[in-house]
Amino acid sequence: MMEKGKGTILFTGCSASLNGIAGFSELCCGKFALRALSQCLAKEYQAFGIHVAHVIIDGVVGPPRYTQLCDHFPL
């Protein structure tokens, strides 16, 4: 990407990267960190024509077990 002077890097996140959620501290820590990484990379690579973005995918995507867990810990 740097050689071409253009490119895009997308990180997918969730609302846990914006707000802490009781019972999901491990998830929130990782998602907060990923969001911070994308912000740092965006500033570092902007001068090289590389766009870095953190995209929020807000919704439950996963197996039924995960959906049941979310029902137990309402957001």
Q: What tokens does 51 get?
A: 């766009």
The answer, yes or no, to whether residue 75 has pLDDT greater than 60, is no
3-state secondary structure the chain: CCCCCCEEEEEEECHHHCCCCCCCHHHHHHHHHHHHHHHHHHHHHHHHCEEEEEEECCCCCCCHHHHHHHHHCCC
At residue 35, does pLDDT exceed 70? yes
Domains of the chain by residue range: 7-72
Mean of the per-residue pLDDT values of the chain:
87
Q: Is the pTM of this model over 0.75?
A: no
Residue 73's pLDDT band (cuts 50, 70, 90) = low
pLDDT of residue 72: 63
